[in-house]
């Protein structure tokens, strides 16, 4: 189990810098190490996703990098939709889930790489339009997050940037939103009662430590362009690897 925990620590460090929970890689890693995809990998990945995001979000909130008011519509709608998506995992095959997982990550990663050279946004779009778009997008992302066992951060970050948030604030705010969609989706899986408790406990400790370190590095050392490039590369790499392994 030690190799899995070390990998989880490294992943939490990277993903906390990007405003992500890390489930998009926690889940495949658990699957590759022999844990059942639906009954162990997805619920454990969702829980760790929430822990990683929560730990990072607390750090970002202390630095006043999180837009709590602007993120509220996404929080509410994704919170509602994530458990619904979680219930759908029982009627959709693993192969279909893996294919969806790969496709959405590839598209999101490509978009982030292509936009990495763009200037940082300087103004948010109109408040009413931003609230409406956030609420609608939160429904779709929450449904997908619960279905695939992810927090949805890799979709929230590009959305927030499109709404006019600077990259670092988008990543920090995404971490806050992901907390709710992650734990909401986890509750949808919890009823099944399939957990590897030693894995869950040791991995939770690892992500708590790593996410605090990652949040500090993002705030103090990373440039916005680097965050976008790292974001895109990570997503595309995972999508390709997952497609080949499935």
**CA-CA-CA-CA dihedral for 230, 62, 174, 47, to nearest 10:** 90
Q: Give the lowest-confidence range in 36-45, 171-180, 235-244.
A: 235-244
Segment holding 169, helix H or strand E: helix 167-190
CA 236/CA 246 separation, integer angstroms: 15
CA 183/CA 16 separation, integer angstroms: 16
Spell out the residues 6+ positions from residue 201 whose beta carbon is closer than 8 angstroms to its own. none
Contact call for residues 174 and 199 (beta carbons, < 8 A)? no
Tokens standing for residue 198: 């030693």
CA 30/CA 36 separation, integer angstroms: 8
Tokens standing for residue 14: 């990277």
Tens digit of pLDDT for each residue in 120-177? 888 899 989 999 999 998 898 888 777 776 667 778 888 898 899 999 999 999 999 9
Neighbour count for residue 106 (Cβ, 10 Å): 17
pTM, whole model, 2 decimals? 0.80
- How many angstroms separate the Cα of 165 from the Cα of each of 64, 67, 120? 14, 9, 8
Tokens standing for residue 58: 């607390």
What's residue 192's pLDDT?
61
> Would you kindly state where each structural domain of the chain is located, as residue ranges?
2-245
């Amino acid at each position: 189990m030690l190799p899995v925990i070390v990998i989880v620590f490294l992943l939490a460090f990277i993903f906390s810098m990007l405003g992500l929970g890390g489930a998009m890689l926690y889940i495949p890693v658990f699957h590759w190490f022999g844990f059942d995809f639906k009954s162990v990998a997805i619920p454990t990945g969702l829980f760790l996703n929430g822990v990683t995001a929560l730990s990072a979000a607390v750090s970002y909130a202390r630095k006043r990098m999180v837009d709590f008011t602007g993120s509220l519509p996404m929080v509410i709608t994704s919170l509602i939709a994530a458990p619904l998506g979680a219930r759908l995992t029982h009627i959709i095959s693993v192969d279909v889930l893996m294919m969806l997982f790969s496709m959405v990550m590839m598209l999101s990663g490509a978009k982030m790489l292509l936009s990495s050279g763009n200037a940082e946004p300087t103004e948010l779009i109109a408040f009413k339009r931003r609230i409406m778009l956030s609420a609608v997008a939160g429904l779709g992302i929450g449904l997908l997050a619960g279905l695939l066992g992810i927090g949805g951060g890799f979709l929230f970050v590009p959305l927030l940037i499109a709404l006019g948030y600077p990259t670092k604030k988008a990543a920090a705010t995404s971490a806050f939103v992901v907390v709710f969609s992650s734990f909401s989706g986890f509750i949808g899986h919890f009823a099944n009662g399939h957990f590897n408790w030693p894995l869950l406990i040791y991995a939770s400790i690892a992500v708590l430590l790593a996410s605090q370190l990652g949040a500090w590095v993002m705030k103090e050392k990373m440039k916005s362009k680097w965050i976008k490039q790292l974001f895109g590369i990570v997503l595309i790499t995972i999508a390709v690897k997952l497609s080949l392994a499935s």
